[in-house]
Amino acid sequence: MSDPWQILGLSRESATEKEVKSAYARLIKQHRPDTDPEGFQRVRQAYEAALAMLKGRGAERPEILPIPMPLAPAPAEREDGAAPCAPPELAEAELAVYKARDEEGPAAMNKAMAGLYPLCRCLRPGKAGFELWYECLHRVTEGRSAVVARGVTIPQLIDEMESGGTLITQAVVAHWEAMRNTERLHALAEAMVAHAERLGNRESAVVALRLAIETGFVYPDLSSTLLTFAFPHVDRAAREQLVPQAEEQASIGSLMAGLRSDQITFWHERVRNPDREWDWNNKASQDALQYLATKAPSQWKGLGIVRQIVPAEWFARLEQETSRRPQPGSVPPPLPLTKTRLKSSGTGMPWGRSTWLIVFVVINAARLLSHCTGPNHSLYPAMPPSLGSHEGPLGLKIPE
């Protein structure tokens, strides 16, 4: 093979990994696989050889994905009788991903990834196919996990973990964690639980523990399920390091389960980063204080967690606001009675007992006279045969 440094236009002594990648990205635009497949293959081989030399002299490892290995030659035939996948086809698939990496939205990258993924598995069966997929993605995305995460699908990650590899999965999960993309982490966790019978290996179990830690606060039940799945497949070191973290997140998440969804998100961020300098006087913090003081369940056990991460003065205000909330079962004090004073005409003095006695005698005399002169002159009206009852709005039996 020709000198890779000459093909890339770089100095053997001073070239860096970043310069090798930049040269490769520039040259594959000039030597496209559809118009110059031989030139494209020559540039690619030079790129791989240069990276291998850099690795040999202790070059810095790429940020996210490892240095790719040389591409194995395409097999002459396959056991299943299918046509072999030629390297030019793989180069075209790589170029499609390269073109789609700067497109907005996931549609273009999903389509390009759907073409590259099966070709890698076609060239190298089993786990090696996923390693090739990993290498190709590193080349065309320059190790940017955000680009990979935008195009990869969860079924592809499940397939990779089933093979015993987690290179792509770990890179994508790390990106989702950094972006606080709980929705995607939750979707992958759900898929792992659904396909647990396919993932009975240590690598998958480590990913499950990582997801249990990340999702335990918001989805404590799912986190517990992941723990149960992962525990038999991890070694003692992983159990001692990761399992307690996942259990803690699930326990705290169970305490927060009764809160409103936006409040769960608020406290999730602060529990995850208790040492961060949070602004406890902004609107979000004041809303959280008012919510806990007025809406949080009575005798909420999560207050012990809140006390540990908030400033003392903030918690004191919370206690003060909570003390004003009516306790369950308490009866409000009766309204004060007011005395109405009726005034007699002329004197301004209240009516005396003699006045009320005269009024009482006159009223009863009128009632007695009406009973005696009517058709039914009994002084005692007949009682109804029985007193019924109906149920009031609070479930009380109210006589009719």
d(CA 47, CA 20): 7
Residue whose C-alpha is closest to residue 131's, from 219, 69, 224, 55: 69
Six-digit token pair at 126? 């089993």
Query: Side chain identity at 113, as an amino acid letter?
Result: M
Q: Report pLDDT digits (tens) over 87-113.
A: 778 888 888 998 888 887 788 888 998
Q: Report pLDDT digits (tens) over 35-54.
A: 777 787 788 788 878 887 88
β-bridge pairing 389-391 and 397-399: antiparallel
Q: Report pLDDT digits (tens) over 280-325.
A: 999 999 999 999 988 776 678 888 888 888 999 999 999 888 888 7
Q: What is the pLDDT of residue 163?
A: 93
Entry pTM: 0.58
Residue 336 has pLDDT above 90, yes or no: no
Q: What is the pLDDT of residue 258?
A: 79
Compute the average pLDDT of residues 71-79: 41
Q: What is the pLDDT of residue 276?
A: 81
Residue 348 has pLDDT above 60, yes or no: no
d(CA 335, CA 337): 6
For residues 215 and 348, the model is more confident at 215
335 band by pLDDT with thresholds 50, 70 and 90: very low
**Least confident span in 65-79, 253-267, 366-380:** 65-79
Most confident of 73-77, 201-205, 342-346: 201-205
**Least confident span in 164-178, 252-266, 377-391:** 377-391
Q: What is the pLDDT of residue 33?
A: 64
**Alpha-carbon distance values, 12 to 27, 58, 266, 297, 389 (Å):** 18, 14, 52, 68, 101
Q: What is the pLDDT of residue 314?
A: 93
Compute the average pLDDT of residues 59-69: 38
For residues 343 and 383, the model is more confident at 343
Torsion angle, CA of 339/342/348/349, rounded to 10 degrees?
A: -70
Residue 390 has pLDDT above 90, yes or no: no
